[in-house]
Amino acid sequence: QVQLQESGPGLVKPSQTLSLTCTVSGGSISSGGYSWSWIRQHPGKGLEWIGYMYYTGSTNYNPSLKSRVTISLDTTKNQFSLTLSSVTAADTAVYFCARISRNDYGANYFDYWGQGTLVTVSS
């Protein structure tokens, strides 16, 4: 059973960089066919996709955040990470990591999720 767990600071100051890590267990992030993604949810709001990294290292980011986002994989630790620079109060949200699977017909879907971690941007 694949499990994902987010970790990182719960409080970040405005203009600084938010850094989160997702530790994956029960499967290797370097095994073929999966992408590793970050999604966030502002308090009381819907879900917003941030971006993903394919196991080969290619990335795809939401254009609304692209200039500030980096997603990377650490295959030695079976982890992937999110950095979001120049944060403001608008980046306060619960951040989820998730695995993207793809079926034979090209349909992508988030099938495993971490529990989520609240990050508050405040001085």
Partner 1 sequence: DIQMTQSPSSLSASVGDRVTITCRASQTISGFLNWYQQKPGKAPKLLIYAAYILQTGVPSRFSGSGSGTDFTLTISSLQPEDFATYSCQQSSTSPYTFGQGTKVEI
Torsion of CA 35, 83, 63, 101, to 10 degrees: 10
Q: Is 27 in the site for partner 1 (CB under 8 A)?
A: no
Under the binding rule (CB under 8 A), the answer on residue 83 touching partner 1 is no
Choosing from 46, 58, 67, 122, the residue that interacts with partner 1 (CB under 8 A) is 46
Is residue 109 involved in binding partner 1 (CB under 8 A)? yes
Q: Which is nearer to partner 1, 33 or 105 (CB)?
A: 105
CB of 62 or CB of 85, closer to partner 1: 62
By CB under 8 A, tell whether 113 contacts partner 1: yes
- Dist CA 91 CA 75 (whole Å): 28
Contact 108, 101 (CB under 8 A): yes
Out of 25, 28, 86, 115, the only residue in the binding site for partner 1 (CB under 8 A) is 115
Cβ(89)–Cβ(18) under 8 Å?
Answer: no
74 vs 57: CA distance, rounded Å = 10
Among 16, 62, 83, 85, binds partner 1 (CB under 8 A): 62
Q: Are 110 and 37 in contact (CB under 8 A)?
A: yes
Judged by the rule CB under 8 A, the positions of this chain that interact with partner 1 are 45-49, 60, 62-64, 96, 98, 103, 105-111, 113-116
